[in-house]
Chains A and B, each alone.
Chain A
Amino acid sequence: MTTLSGPAVRSGPSVPAPRPRARRSWIGWGFMGPFMVVFALVFLAPIAYSIYLSLYRDQMVGGTSFVGLENYERAVGDPQFWSALGRVSIFLAVQVPIMLCIALLVALAIDSGRLYGKSFFRISIFLPYAVPAVVASLMWGFMYGTRFGLVGNINDAFGISLPNPLSPDLILASIGNIVTWEFVGYNMLIFYAALRVIPPSLYEAAEIDGASQRQVITAIKLPAIRGALVIATIFSIIGSFQLFNEPSILQSLAPNAITTYFTPNMYAFSLSFSGQQQNYAATVAIVMGLITMVIAYVVQLRGMRKEG
């Protein structure tokens, strides 16, 4: 900065310095403008509008009134909201580690180069991710049926009685199974891409040093893809908290096991569209967004700190 401003002062003090600087900044805005407009309209305005909505209450009798933070007070003390949050938290704690472990195993197996038909496995494990979540849920829903579905067929064929996957005790696990099936391939691809960029020279060095495959994995591969692991974990946390499609589709098959407040998103949805409580639904959405951000941020901090 000093080397630049030096000659400018020397060339003539009569030239006012701020003018070119001001012109420069406007040119910058010109480039930024279109983006800022779209960004404000598409990203900021909906958030601002939701916050605005969350400060009001619309009653069927009495109309709309400003209530300040009353909706937030209600959300904090709402047992249905907390039960929904508890459910997705259990889902997060159980399903995400299982899914990421499987994805990691598969990625390491494909990357090891010892797998016959590598590209076939890669594409077939990734394929479920290409199936829309709605279609996947419908498909699994049919398979879960104990009367006419796959579970029913197995029961008939072997004369056994498998537990009903759509019963209230098992429904969350059944949904976890669908989500794992859908997203193992996606996470596998993230890990695999990260493994591919490890320089081969590291492996050569390891071989010269006489390291075993296990040591190569723990000392080279895993540390090298830590970033990818953190990213996949954060995506999975967000995905778990936003759980909606799968339970919402299965609801028609298991209406009593999947309540209208099964997940926070479903709760917000039913509040808004069946209960006409858009204001409270906006509040629930905002609170849920904040909780998701905090947890994702904590995970990111932890992941990055270890790296440093």
Chain B
Amino acid sequence: MTMQRRRAMSAAALTGAVALTLAACGSDDSGPTDGEAAEEVQNVLEEGGELTIWAWEPTLDQVVQDFEAEYPQVSIDLVNAGSGNDQYTALQNAISAGSGIPDLAHIEYFALSQFALSEALVDLSQFGAGELDGTYTPGPWNAVNQDGAVYGLPMDSGPMALYYNQTVFDEHGIDVPTTWDEYVQAGRDLQAADPDVYIANDTGEAGFITSLMWQAGAQPFQVEGTDVTIDFSEEATVKVAETWQQLIDEELVAPITGWTDEWYQGLADGTIATLAAGAWMPANFESGVPGASGDWRAAPLPQWREGATSSAENGGSALAIMANGENSNEALAYAFLEYANAGPGVQTKIDQGLFPGTSEHLADEEFLNAEFEYFDGQQANQVFAESAANVPEGWSYLPFQVYANSIFSDTVGQAYISGTSLTEGLQAWQDALVTFGNDQGFSVNQ
């Protein structure tokens, strides 16, 4: 999982009331029909109204201000209800309670289908969102577009790159790897040169390893309605697991968990030499690892096959319209959504450091030639934009990916601390997910 500015869960939030929510989802799916959609959008903007948005994306703040300035009749309440899972919990509780649901919510791609499935999200194709095909790069667009329905507009995207500490590689005279086999060898060389230097940190992260599978061309999760297939035995998946297993077995990866203090220190002092992550990482480097400014660079991801150019998405999120939102003004919500994620709002967000999912901006000369001071003047957006164009199609997440990721460390994570192998861990993960999915009424691997 991914997320900019993700914070450790605050356990203080636990109250004794473990289960005080009762499922009572409404199914009030009314809305305007196709056709005069665009005209209606103009009308509602002049009419105005109120909107509540739950989002943790900081660049959205400016977009809201600009929007309110342009359409004075509209008043928007932007609420930060927590990042990632914290927000999904709050959202799920509001949906169960049937009140206090925001009109728009910030949802990461991997969690989108979970909310779409419970009919908590409005299908945006009724507002003509289907025509935005081509506006976005394939990765983000496929993530929001499921079975012909559009469940949100992409806010940002996370095409992956390999961030590496140039100073460390130079010091030891080691080349930056271009394949994952070279990557393993570079890990060995770095350890041999200096036992305090690790090629990467890893304690097992669902979002990361599934992205590697994605890059390798595997499709472990197949979803068609409520028919789900989970299969970690594809050749590409096995290749990922076996390659990564070498790094664990030979203790080439530092046992440091991401987003902890140790992690930031490791990125700063050269303990962690590379980091494969989404294009949202530069902003985090600048804020979390200011001391290493000038040391790091971005490169294309190492490849599974020599000479290939495949990539993957890692993280990224959309803004979605909730069914039964507080102000029940879906047309106005869509008007804002289009402004923020397909219209002028996109540039506003880019100016503040967000990596967009829109093809137009990714091809923009000014954007591509922007020099990153942190990367010592490297035009890193060119690496990211190329990565975004090379994301294999056909990937999907599970409709219960939030739960799946939460039990990742129970199963696959055991490979990092015991004699279990990644392959066995993946098998245990698969078994647990098949059981859960069938219990939840899906038909998994049947």
Residue numbers of A with Cβ under 8 A of B are 46, 49-50, 53, 58-64, 132, 134, 142, 145, 147-148, 167-168, 244-245, 248-249, 251-253, 255-257, 259-261, 268-270, 272-276, 278-279, 281-282, 285
A261 CA to B410 CA, complexed, in Å: 8
Q: Which of B8, B20, B410, B442 contacts A61 (CB 8 A)?
A: B442
- Is A259 touching B441 in the complex (CB atoms < 8 A)? no
- Is A252 touching B9 in the complex (CB atoms < 8 A)? yes
Question: Taking the complex as formed, is B261 at the interface, i.e. its CB lies under 8 A from any CB of chain A?
Answer: yes
- Is B410 touching A259 in the complex (CB atoms < 8 A)? yes
- Is B92 touching A276 in the complex (CB atoms < 8 A)? yes
- Is B417 touching A60 in the complex (CB atoms < 8 A)? no
A244 CA to B12 CA, complexed, in Å: 10
9 additional contacts, CB 8 Å, given A50-B19, A58-B23? A142-B261, A147-B262, A147-B265, A252-B260, A255-B413, A260-B407, A274-B85, A276-B403, A278-B18
Q: Which of B16, B226, B441 has the most CB of A within 10 A?
A: B441
Q: A147-B262, A256-B204 are in contact. Are A167 and B410 (CB under 8 A)?
A: no
Which residues B49-76 have CB closer than 8 A to chain A? none
What is the distance, in angstroms, from B446's C-beta to the closest C-beta of chain A? 13
In the complex, number of A-B residue pairs with CB atoms less than 8 Å apart: 111
A63 CA to B118 CA, complexed, in Å: 9
A40 CA to B20 CA, complexed, in Å: 16
A46 CA to B15 CA, complexed, in Å: 12
Q: Which of B10, B92, B256, B440 has the most CB of A within 10 A?
A: B440
Which residues B391-446 have CB closer than 8 A to chain A? 399-400, 402-403, 406-407, 409-410, 413-414, 416-418, 436, 439-442
A146 CA to B255 CA, complexed, in Å: 10
A177 CA to B221 CA, complexed, in Å: 42
Q: Which of A59, A251, A256, A285 contacts B441 (CB 8 A)?
A: A59
What is the distance, in angstroms, from A172's C-beta to the closest C-beta of chain B? 14
Interface pairs A-B: 7 shortest CB-CB: A61-B441, A274-B406, A256-B413, A59-B441, A62-B441, A248-B11, A282-B19
Q: A64-B23, A285-B18 are in contact. Are A260 and B413 (CB under 8 A)?
A: no
Q: How many residues of B contact A (CB 8 A)?
A: 51
Question: Taking the complex as formed, is B284 at the interface, i.e. its CB lies under 8 A from any CB of chain A?
Answer: no
Q: Which of A59, A64, A249, A275 has the most CB of B within 10 A?
A: A275
A123 CA to B418 CA, complexed, in Å: 43
- Is A46 touching B17 in the complex (CB atoms < 8 A)? yes
Task: Note all chain A residues with C-beta closer than 8 A to B409.
Answer: 255-256, 259-260
Question: Taking the complex as formed, is B117 at the interface, i.e. its CB lies under 8 A from any CB of chain A?
Answer: yes
What is the distance, in angstroms, from B402's C-beta to the closest C-beta of chain A? 6
Q: Which of B18, B265, B410, B413 has the most CB of A within 10 A?
A: B18
Question: Taking the complex as formed, is B203 at the interface, i.e. its CB lies under 8 A from any CB of chain A?
Answer: yes
Task: Note all chain A residues with C-beta closer than 8 A to B441.
Answer: 59-62
Task: Note all chain B residues with C-beta closer than 8 A to A61.
Answer: 117, 226, 440-442
Task: Note all chain A residues with C-beta closer than 8 A to B203.
Answer: 255-256
Q: Which of B8, B12, B23, B417 contacts A252 (CB 8 A)?
A: B8
Closest to B412 in A: A256
Closest to B254 in A: A147
Which residues B253-304 have CB closer than 8 A to chain A? 254, 256-257, 259-262, 265-266, 271
What is the distance, in angstroms, from A185's C-beta to the closest C-beta of chain B? 21
- Is A252 touching B257 in the complex (CB atoms < 8 A)? yes
A64 CA to B318 CA, complexed, in Å: 29
- Is A274 touching B403 in the complex (CB atoms < 8 A)? yes
What is the distance, in angstroms, from A264's C-beta to the closest C-beta of chain B? 11
- Is A148 touching B262 in the complex (CB atoms < 8 A)? yes
What is the distance, in angstroms, from B40's C-beta to the closest C-beta of chain A? 33
Q: Can you name 18 A-B pairs with beta carbons within 8 Å?
A: A46-B20, A60-B442, A61-B117, A134-B11, A147-B262, A244-B14, A252-B8, A255-B203, A256-B416, A257-B417, A259-B409, A259-B410, A268-B18, A269-B14, A272-B19, A274-B402, A274-B403, A278-B18
Task: Note all chain B residues with C-beta closer than 8 A to A272.
Answer: 18-19
Q: A64-B23, A256-B416, A269-B18 are in contact. Are A275 and B403 (CB under 8 A)?
A: yes
Closest to A142 in B: B261
Question: Taking the complex as formed, is B80 at the interface, i.e. its CB lies under 8 A from any CB of chain A?
Answer: no
- Is A60 touching B440 in the complex (CB atoms < 8 A)? yes
What is the distance, in angstroms, from A41's C-beta to the closest C-beta of chain B? 13
Task: Note all chain B residues with C-beta closer than 8 A to A249.
Answer: 11
A268 CA to B226 CA, complexed, in Å: 26
A49 CA to B19 CA, complexed, in Å: 9
Closest to A167 in B: B417
A282 CA to B20 CA, complexed, in Å: 9
Q: A60-B399, A61-B442 are in contact. Are A255 and B19 (CB under 8 A)?
A: no
Task: Note all chain B residues with C-beta closer than 8 A to A269.
Answer: 14, 18
What is the distance, in angstroms, from A75's C-beta to the closest C-beta of chain B? 14
Q: Which of A244, A261, A275 contacts B436 (CB 8 A)?
A: A275
Chain B 1-29, CB-CB to A under 8 Å as 1, else 0, gives: 00000001111101011111111000000
